[in-house]
Amino acid sequence: MDAYVYEVARTPRGRGSSKGALAGVRPIELVGHVLAALKERGIEPAWASDLVLGCSTQSGEQGGDLAQIAAVHAGWSGVTGATVSRFCCSGLEALRVAAMQANAGSSAGEGLVIAGGVESMSRVPMFSDRAPWFADPEVSETTSFVHMGVAADLVATLEGIERAQLEALALESHRRSARAQAEGRFDRELVSVGALHQDEGVREGMTAEGLASLEPAFAALGAEQGDARCLARYPELETIAHRHTIATSPGLADCAALAVVGSRAAGEAHGLEPRARLRAFATYAEEPVKMLTGNVEGARRALKAVGMTASDIDVFEVNESFAVVPVHFARALDVDPQRLNPNGGALSVGHPLGATGGVLLANALAELERSDGSVALCSVCGGAGVTMTMVVERV
């Protein structure tokens, strides 16, 4: 694939609540901050042919083809924009669109594509778009909709993953995120917004005893209808063990993350040196009630496309879409825990839905360069079983 990454920049992840550091910043402004940073780093707007944004909840301040309006608002005249949604995988989908444009030579010859995503969960809450999957009773019934947290508990029950394992992962996620911040591992990629210079959300003093005292977060949702739908699909189970708490669930977050993608010729035309090559993308649809385990098959497909196995990967950035996801992924593919999310993840610093794919790419490149690694795999699973995986090679 003739698709290269020339630069990556992202805002910090702010807590996705009214008290979060980025709650007063509109989504269009988050994108504008990153576009301004790319310009400061030598990427001229005239070089870009397209801006592709992943965004999961495309309503209100995130509606109306936000990518096109963000380009105009930021003064990037002549740049067209497209906003795409593949639920939590939206950012990876935007990167795939950019890679396909570069590979097909459709990015206006010497043009570069700016791709990534944005999500302001403090301003445009998840589910606020009232989409039919969860808001239309007939569609919800025929598709056996369950909340993602209930699905996480279903996977933990099916796979025999105990609560202590989930909480150990959460503790490690916070420890690794705190270490990454203290050592400035993401300084090259981060774009400060106001007084926020690092990812928000890492908690000091978290203990195993404290986590063990938390109540299950999704038992009430399960009792409403989710458990019944899970048990109807998996009759071998007698009950759903609700093991995830607020600490082992991903934090809501506000963020924008963008990459500059183009062919080798496009980069050379503007005197740019690539940081990485986008080698392959793979999608997979998991059974929609279980929904959160499809990144295992997606990873297998992506690895097959590049003739590699899991042992060839130096860094795995697997979104912590509930603690059970990386635990199951590592077990299924026999992944060394030291190579999996080495600088923490969504359990500690949040999951900004449509921006997460761009964040994982930025984090993967930062870690490959820090550790002198060669290849990273980024993977996200999302609602109704959608999953997406990307293989990135440092150059």
Angle between helices 324-333 and 295-305 (to 10 degrees): 50
**Residue 294: exposure state from Cβ atoms within 10 A (0-12, 13-18, ≥19):** buried
Task: In whole angstroms, give the CA distance from residue 317 to residue 34.
Answer: 22
Euclidean distance between CA atoms 66 and 31, whole angstroms: 9
The amino acid at residue 336 is D
Q: What's 23's DSSP letter?
A: T
Q: What distance in Å separates the CA atoms of residue 346 and residue 91, rounded to the nearest whole number? A: 15
CA distance 89 to 384: 12
Active-site option among 89, 255, 378, 381: 381
Alpha helices in 74-162 (DSSP H): 90-104, 132-135, 137-142, 148-159
- Annotated catalytic residue within 33, 174, 242, 351: 351
Show the DSSP H helices in 242-345 as ranges.
264-269, 295-305, 324-333
Query: Which residue in the list 55, 88, 89, 230 is annotated as catalytic?
Result: 88
The rounded distance, in Å, linking the Cα atoms of 255 and 88 is: 13
| Annotated catalytic residue 88 | yes
381 is catalytic: yes
> Which residues carry out catalysis?
88, 351, 381
